[in-house]
Amino acid sequence: MLDQEIILQDMPLLKQMHRGSEKAFEALMEKYMPVISRTSFRILCDRSDSEAVTEKVFVQLWHDVMSYDDRFTLAEWLLRRTCLCSRLRISRRRLLYFTGVRQNLFALSKPKVENVDDYLTTMAWEVFCRASSKMTPVQRIVFSLSVLEQLPDYKVAEITGLFNYRVNVALRRAQQKIHAELKRFGKPDDYDSYIGFVRRISDSLIDLERLKKEVLGLVNSGS
């Protein structure tokens, strides 16, 4: 489907939401919360931080729907905000660490996998967390959008505001860090399998129904 067709599909719901329709808002959350929550989770590697970012993005949509830029699909517009909020979250972590408030810069970056029995999936998350901890925020974002969400380079460039060559450089450096961690784990040739495991677990650890209720609660409370 062409971008313009997607934009035209969402426009009636956006107009209804601007008039105060919670049903239209819920329909848009139903459609777009999965991609926003899993993208923020993959960037931040922390469920609590991811949920905070996802809530912020959708609360902003409710309060600031008129700022929607229809040069982008709504998914792209929401992803732009997700990337910005995630970068700010990572910067906040670094500030707390360097001012002594946090003891470990990446302590909160490690995702929870207690309910995952598959050893290979658990190992993939450990590799992902270790590699992510060595990536810049831009590298995390580009890797998540390009490899895990499988967006084309020009879309990643539009969402992030980066030039294409910077997207390619960031992606190459992120992949180098992934390969280095896989080698350290004795799995240098398992890159493709590893990516599949990472996609699977990051789709399974977010309770979207609870998150939607929390967003609606924030909206109704005027937050």
Which residues of the chain are modeled with pLDDT < 70? 1-2, 94-120, 203-204, 223
For residues 100 and 152, give the distance between their C-alpha atoms in angstroms, rounded to a whole number.
Answer: 40
Q: Please give the pLDDT value at position 201.
A: 74
Q: Please give the pLDDT value at position 103.
A: 45
Assess whether 169 and 90 both reside in one domain: no
Count of beta carbons in the 10 Å neighbourhood of residue 208: 14
Ramachandran angles phi, psi of 103, nearest 5°:
-85, -25
For residues 44 and 46, give the distance between their C-alpha atoms in angstroms, rounded to a whole number.
Answer: 5
Tally of structural domains, the chain: 2
Contact between residue 47 and residue 41 where contact means Cβ atoms under 8 Å apart: yes
178, part of any domain:
yes
For residues 220 and 146, give the distance between their C-alpha atoms in angstroms, rounded to a whole number.
Answer: 35
For residues 94 and 100, give the distance between their C-alpha atoms in angstroms, rounded to a whole number.
Answer: 10
pTM for the predicted model, two decimal places: 0.87
For residues 94 and 140, give the distance between their C-alpha atoms in angstroms, rounded to a whole number.
Answer: 15
Q: What is the pLDDT of residues 12-63, one digit of tens each?
A: 999 999 999 999 999 999 999 999 999 999 999 888 889 999 999 999 999 9
108, part of any domain:
no
Assess whether 1 and 94 both reside in one domain: yes
Q: Please give the pLDDT value at position 109.
A: 42
119, part of any domain:
yes
Assess whether 146 and 220 both reside in one domain: no
Assess whether 53 and 24 both reside in one domain: yes
Query: Whole domain around residue 30: which residue ranges?
Result: 1-103+207-223
Count of beta carbons in the 10 Å neighbourhood of residue 7: 18
The CATH number of the domain holding residue 93 is: 1.10.1740.10
For residues 104 and 31, give the distance between their C-alpha atoms in angstroms, rounded to a whole number.
Answer: 36
Assess whether 123 and 143 both reside in one domain: yes
Q: Please give the pLDDT value at position 95.
A: 58
Q: Please give the pLDDT value at position 65.
A: 92
List C-alpha distances in Å: 126 to 119, 122, 200: 11, 6, 14
Q: Please give the pLDDT value at position 204.
A: 67
Q: Please give the pLDDT value at position 110.
A: 46
For residues 159 and 154, give the distance between their C-alpha atoms in angstroms, rounded to a whole number.
Answer: 9
Assess whether 67 and 129 both reside in one domain: no
What's the one-letter identity of residue 27?
A
The CATH number of the domain holding residue 120 is: 1.10.10
Contact between residue 68 and residue 25 where contact means Cβ atoms under 8 Å apart: no
Geometric angle at alpha carbon 203, from 49 and 127, rounded to 5°: 75
